[in-house]
Amino acid sequence: MHMENDVVFAVCWLAAAYLVGAIPFGYLIGRMRGVDVRTVGSKNIGATNVYRTVGKKWGFLAFFCDFAKGFVPTMLCSAFAARHGDGGALMANLPVCVGLACVVGHTLTVFMRFKGGKGVATAFGMFMALMPWPSLMAFAVFVVTVWLSHYISLGSMLAAVTLGAAVWFFPAMLLLRVVADVIAVFVVVKHRTNIERLLKGCENRIY
């Protein structure tokens, strides 16, 4: 019976995490300002496009909201698993799966016909809740890269790759390390059009 309860809890957490991750904050912020971000700029609902097409402060707000929807569910699930878990693998791995569900929700949101953002901010929130030091290293790479190159896309990709590598040098479950690497590859793939523009020298700079 205890195992059955754990499965029910896990399904509820994953469903809730997906729905939270699926909230299209970038789109909603744009609509509040009279802009449909799906039709302007890169046509992406992520924070970068909001920054460029709606305004700087709104872009930062979109980033914070996308970060929070990865951080808060993952942190809450970690606390729940620590309190209600008994050392079983299901509860031990649940926070990682919940964080991943948030990222999937953001990139494949049911509210936008399963289209969404690139998952960088939400994944950053997830890993800040689970592995803050590798996440801060990745964020430092992002900041330095954007500062030097003025390319958010390049900073996002290098940060994702940095995180995917850094998790192997810190104590962590194998599942978390594998998820970090999968997300790093996913982020790079989602930026393939940005990579093409970078190679052609026509990628949009942040300023």
C-alpha distances in Å from residue 104, one per residue of 17, 33, 54: 9, 26, 25
Residues 94 and 116 in one domain: yes
Q: What is the pLDDT of residue 42?
A: 86
Residues 125 and 185 in one domain: no
pLDDT tens sequence across 78-121? 999 888 766 678 888 999 999 999 999 999 999 999 999 999 99
Residues 170 and 97 in one domain: no
Picking from 73, 97, 130, the residue at the C-terminal end of a domain is 130
Q: For a pLDDT cut of 70, what percent of the chain falls above it? A: 96
3-state secondary structure of 176: helix
C-alpha distances in Å from residue 20, one per residue of 25, 38, 53, 71: 10, 20, 24, 11
How far apart are the C-alpha atoms of 137 and 163, rounded to whole Å? 7
Average pLDDT over residues 50-60: 94
Instruction: Say how many residues make up the chain.
Output: 207
Picking from 130, 151, 173, the residue at the C-terminal end of a domain is 130
How far apart are the C-alpha atoms of 74 and 121, rounded to whole Å? 14
Task: Report the number of distinct structural domains present in the chain.
Answer: 2
> Which domain does 121 fall in, by range?
1-130
How far apart are the C-alpha atoms of 64 and 18, rounded to whole Å? 18
Residues 135 and 113 in one domain: no
Average pLDDT over residues 60-76: 97
